[in-house]
Amino acid sequence: MFTGCVEFDLLLPQDSRSLKAKRSYVRPIVASLRKYEVAVAEVRDQEVHGRTTIGVAAVAGDHRHVAELLDACEHHVAGRPEVELLSARRRLFGPEDE
């Protein structure tokens, strides 16, 4: 079994100065990433206006499939015109990591 995770550090638009406005950007991104059948959540900066960190985790039988899932998620987030992807931090774990 192989697992992988990635954290996306996102800069939100100027008009996300309230938590309600911030949620209006974060929720659709989280929902759209679920189509890749991964676990996804806002994992950091929940109370910070204009920034957020979204975490994605995937599990598969081989490392290539995990890497492909995380690549697809990163490509999806980077292609969102309403946010700027500042960084993506990725980790992969396999049986040898026990």
Note the pLDDT of residue 65.
95
Residues 7/85, Cβ–Cβ less than 8 Å: no
Question: Considering only CA atoms, which of 3, 13, 14 is closest in space to residue 65?
Answer: 3
**Residue 66 counted as domain residue:** yes
**Residue 44 counted as domain residue:** yes
Distance between CA atoms of 92 and 3, rounded to whole angstroms? 6
**Residue 42 counted as domain residue:** yes
Residues 3/92, Cβ–Cβ less than 8 Å: yes
Indicate which CATH number applies to the domain containing 42: 3.30.70.1120
Q: What stretches of the chain show up as alpha helix (H) in DSSP?
A: 19-33, 63-78
SS3 69: helix
Note the pLDDT of residue 48.
73
**Residue 95 counted as domain residue:** no
SS3 36: helix
**Residue 10 counted as domain residue:** yes
> Per-residue pLDDT for the chain (98 aa), expressed as one digit of tens each?
999 999 999 998 877 777 888 888 899 999 999 999 999 999 987 777 788 999 999 999 999 999 999 999 999 999 999 899 999 999 999 888 76
Note the pLDDT of residue 7.
97
User: How many structural domains are present in the chain?
Assistant: 1
Distance between CA atoms of 21 and 24, rounded to whole angstroms? 5
65 lies in which domain range? 2-88
**Residue 98 counted as domain residue:** no
**Residue 20 counted as domain residue:** yes
Record the pTM. Answer: 0.86
